[in-house]
Amino acid sequence: MGSFHRHTKDLKATEEYKHQGFCNFLRRLDDDHKERARLLKELVVKAERWVEEARKCYAEPIDMKEKEFVMMMLMDGCFIIEFFILVHDHYTTSAQYHCKFTQIPGNVDFLF
Give pTM, 2 decimals: 0.69
Domain ranges in the chain are 9-102
Instruction: Tell me which residues of the chain have a pLDDT lower than 50.
Output: 91, 95-96, 101, 112
Give me the long-range contacts of 23-32 (CB less than 8 A, separation at least 24): 24/82, 24/93, 24/97, 24/99, 24/101, 25/78, 25/79, 25/81, 25/82, 26/78, 27/97, 28/82, 28/85
pLDDT tens-digit map of 72-94: 899 999 999 988 888 876 645 55
